[in-house]
Structure 1
Amino acid sequence: MIRATSFNGKTVAVFGLGGSGIASARSLLAGGATVAAWDDGEAGRSAAAREGVPLVDLAEADWSQFSALVLAPGVPLTHPEPHWTVRKAQDSGVEIIGDIEIFARERAAQAPDAPFIGITGTNGKSTTTALIAHILRHAGRDVQLGGNIGRAVLTLEDPAPERCHVIELSSFQIDLTPTLKPTVGVMLNVTPDHLDRHGTIENYAAVKERLVDGAEVAAVGLDDEFGLAMLQRRIQKAPAIAFSAEKSIAPGYSLLDDTIICSNREALAVKLASLGGIATLRGKHNAQNALAAVAAVRECLNWIGQSSDLDWQGALASFPGLPHRMEEIGRIGNVLFVNDSKATNADSTEKALLSFPRDVFWIAGGKPKAGGISALEKYFGGVAKVYLIGESSEDFAQTLEGKVTFERSGTLDAAVAAAARDAKASTGAEPVVLLSPACASYDQFRNFEVRGDAFRKLVEAVPGVAMRGAK
């Protein structure tokens, strides 16, 4: 646990008692702070009480006593309207921060030169974060992985010169971290998402850009207009490096066929590794993730004065991938089953349809997001059939009508059974049963992980299936 010593002797309000909120409260207590924690839900309060976290009804509290409000990232800060605790804090002149800010302050106090790589973007954050950690561990480094992936940041070990923290950062977390200053800040891409929390895509992109602005070295993806604009602003004032899966750039990181190359300003290129045949890094989107990861590690090691001559090929080839992100989970003969439950918007599903351009038996639907799947129409030619689930079914059916065969399966179990049946009857070279919902899960499942786990269990029950990794 990282102890929040920067709040020693102070009284701090904590609101939102999920995993990161409870971790924040425990960190503050261990650092010598007095904590007043609360949650709107009884479940959160009960969980905190079991962890020994002091509960105080913040609606009735004297806010003049608080030095800060530590807000869970899921609690609205600005849109659609500030949470009531935010208004109370603002009215009392109390700063509002998150758990990543506590980490940033402790790093600044304890080990300001400790390597810290922060990763953000709309899509690919988790894969890129996990791949960066994997590359560093493959090289024998001490790595702490967390933030918006895996463990809450304050449950990790303390920053230290020989230890690298690799932290995934959502826009919600960045919004609550005013002193964010990683060694390397990675900005992958910006596409419309979380607009209910930021109001406009411009506001959303501006929050993401805070990571670029605060980093010692910024690594910025150029494959969308927002990233290009961020890089142009950044290079006028501080070190930055670009990466692109779509164009050759110098200086920067790009692809030559399937090979990652790093070019200097004279366009002299160093070949680092090939992505060819690496199933866990299939598709252009994963090429961008790999470019970002290699750039982040090389730039970080160069910045701290250590050798960046690593076994890049071995590191990338041994990457196991992440659950629920284009995860190849099983086969029946030539039929491949892919769990892409993490695809909660059309942009994410686009990556899957690009990666599997034909003979796709696509399971789609759930709680819809703005725009639906109309943007995916250009990929319908590679889809053999669609199996619709969840509350988006009728909207999606209207988009698909007359363009691709579909059925209203309703539930995931019915969809898997029908898709497996049809894929096995297909004459395609490698039919793919693809769960890539292009929707949130909340209509039928608690989160995308639960949805993906349910898909895995249903596939495992299909007669004759050989699950990946099964003995």
Structure 2
Amino acid sequence: MKSLIYGYGITGKSFERYLKKKKVAYDIFDQNIPEYSIKLDLNNYKNILCSPGINADEFDHLQASNKVLTDIDIFFEEDNSIKIGITGTNGKSTTCFHLAQLLKQEFGVNLIGNFGNPVLDDINNGNEYSIIELSSFQLHKMKKNKLDFGVLLNIEPDHLDYHKDFLSYKAAKERILSANKSSQENDPYLLFEWITKRKCKKTKLKNLPYRYQFISKNIINDSKSTNTSSLKYAISNANMFFQDDYILICCGDPKKENFPKLEISGPAKILIYGNHAKQIDACISHPNKNLFDDANLLLEYLQNKSIFSNILFSPGFPSGLDYKNFEERGDDFNNLIYNLKK
């Protein structure tokens, strides 16, 4: 019987590459892609290979068939590397990236999952360790935790549009603690020692772009800020660094946290732009706010006001209808600043 790829995004396409290598016939379903949107009879398939972005209710419906597998399930069953899973509301990509740098000084390392390559692209490629960034979606959908090491960094409300409430989100995140060994440590050096049983010499670690990144001495690009806890963290740091003399720029879709209410103090002014500007405005309490339909109008405002002072770009929400992802958003902000300097 054929396999069914359910969802044809990044993970779905990695399923396709995997099945082609295995010489397994398959069909594709994705309700958002017209050519693959025709409903199929699930009974006609040996298994259903489900992408992490499929919503929880739809996933529960698929689960009734007892045929559902995720890429994480397959990787756990087939890959022979030592598997380190890392999750948390904030900081998981940076922790994965830093730990990978330390391990790569001595070992072959895969940096995969929600950050890096899809896991199926690196099955049994000869590397000794696999560092897997795991989202709450992936943890919710995996059948069994077969990690050698599981790391839970922190938990704050997030993805409530998927999980419906904080307790369900928390339960999904905490599934990582059922690994063979688990920790809540966030220091990459201490994680290295925990995993390898030996100390690691200190080294200058590279940071990922758009994580509270200074693009000049007075402008911070924190495009990776995709939730309110990361926004609060950025504001706290900016308040100390800029002494409350700065502009905060926000954008994104507040739906995933059920439109949270925020009282913000510190920035002298908040500029909000994009397709979701009015929704963000309703969420944020601050005496000095301006709204713009898009980044071009924001740029025009900054140019007309001759504003080129301390700026924190920390969106606080996922990209929504404005951008494909936080990387594109970060690039766009850098271009905006470049045009402002002209």
What TM-score do you get using the length of structure 1 for normalisation? 0.65
- Residue type of the partner of 1:97? L
Work out whether 1:87 is the aligned partner of 2:66: no
User: How many Å separate the matches in 2 of 1:189 and 1:106?
Assistant: 29
Which residue of 2 is the match for residue 437 of structure 1?
A: 315
What SS does the aligned partner of 2:84 have? strand
Shift of 1:386: 1.1
Judging changes above 3 Å, is the alpha-carbon distance between structure 1 residues 448 and 44 closer, same or farther for their aligned structure 2 residues?
farther
Judging changes above 3 Å, is the alpha-carbon distance between structure 1 residues 400 and 101 closer, same or farther for their aligned structure 2 residues?
closer
Work out whether 1:118 is the aligned partner of 2:85: yes
What SS does the aligned partner of 1:461 have? helix
- Residue type of the partner of 1:95? K
Whether the aligned pair in 2 keeps the contact of 1:21 and 1:72 (CA below 8 Å) is: yes
Which residue of 2 is the match for residue 343 of structure 1?
A: 225
Shift of 1:299: 1.4
Match of 2:183 among 214, 219, 231: 219
Map residues 134-213 of structure 1 onto 2, 5 A cutoff. Answer: 134-137=101-104, 139-158=105-124, 160=126, 163-213=128-178
Which residue of 1 is the match for residue 3 of structure 2?
A: 12
Structure 1 unaligned blocks of 5 or more: 1-9, 46-56, 221-242, 244-288, 303-307, 465-471
Work out whether 1:26 is the aligned partner of 2:17: yes
Shift of 1:167: 0.8
Work out whether 1:301 is the aligned partner of 2:277: no
Shift of 1:410: 3.2
Whether the aligned pair in 2 keeps the contact of 1:367 and 1:392 (CA below 8 Å) is: yes
Which residue of 2 is the match for residue 384 of structure 1?
A: 268
Match of 2:50 among 71, 78, 88: 71
User: How many Å separate the matches in 1 of 2:44 and 2:300?
Assistant: 59
Whether the aligned pair in 2 keeps the contact of 1:17 and 1:38 (CA below 8 Å) is: yes
- Residue type of the partner of 2:224? K
Which has the bigger relative contact order, CA under 8 A and spacing at least 6? 2
Which residue of 2 is the match for residue 42 of structure 1?
A: 33
Whether the aligned pair in 2 keeps the contact of 1:143 and 1:164 (CA below 8 Å) is: yes
What SS does the aligned partner of 1:356 have? helix
- Residue type of the partner of 1:445? Y
Judging changes above 3 Å, is the alpha-carbon distance between structure 1 residues 362 and 151 closer, same or farther for their aligned structure 2 residues?
same
Shift of 1:175: 2.1
Work out whether 1:127 is the aligned partner of 2:14: no
User: How many Å separate the matches in 1 of 2:100 and 2:339?
Assistant: 33
User: How many Å separate the matches in 1 of 2:68 and 2:199?
Assistant: 42
Encode CA deviations 1:41-73: one digit per residue, 9 max, x unaligned: 33785xxxxxxxxxxx87343x34433211011
What SS does the aligned partner of 1:158 have? coil
User: How many Å separate the matches in 1 of 2:137 and 2:283?
Assistant: 32
Structure showing greater Rg: 1
**Aligned residues with identical type, % of pairs:** 28
Which residue of 2 is the match for residue 103 of structure 1?
A: 75
- Residue type of the partner of 2:3? V
- Residue type of the partner of 1:342? K
Shift of 1:144: 0.8
Structure 2 unaligned blocks of 5 or more: none
- Residue type of the partner of 2:296? D
What TM-score do you get using the length of structure 2 for normalisation? 0.87
Whether the aligned pair in 2 keeps the contact of 1:361 and 1:423 (CA below 8 Å) is: no
User: How many Å separate the matches in 1 of 2:284 and 2:26?
Assistant: 53
What SS does the aligned partner of 2:330 have? helix
Which residue of 1 is the match for residue 254 of structure 2?
A: 368
- Residue type of the partner of 1:33? V
Whether the aligned pair in 2 keeps the contact of 1:129 and 1:168 (CA below 8 Å) is: yes
Paired residues in the alignment total 336
Whether the aligned pair in 2 keeps the contact of 1:14 and 1:35 (CA below 8 Å) is: yes
Judging changes above 3 Å, is the alpha-carbon distance between structure 1 residues 196 and 395 closer, same or farther for their aligned structure 2 residues?
closer
Encode CA deviations 1:20-61: one digit per residue, 9 max, x unaligned: 11111221232243323222233785xxxxxxxxxxx87343
- Residue type of the partner of 2:227? N
Encode CA deviations 1:137-173: one digit per residue, 9 max, x unaligned: 2x2321111110121111125165x521111011111
What SS does the aligned partner of 1:442 have? coil
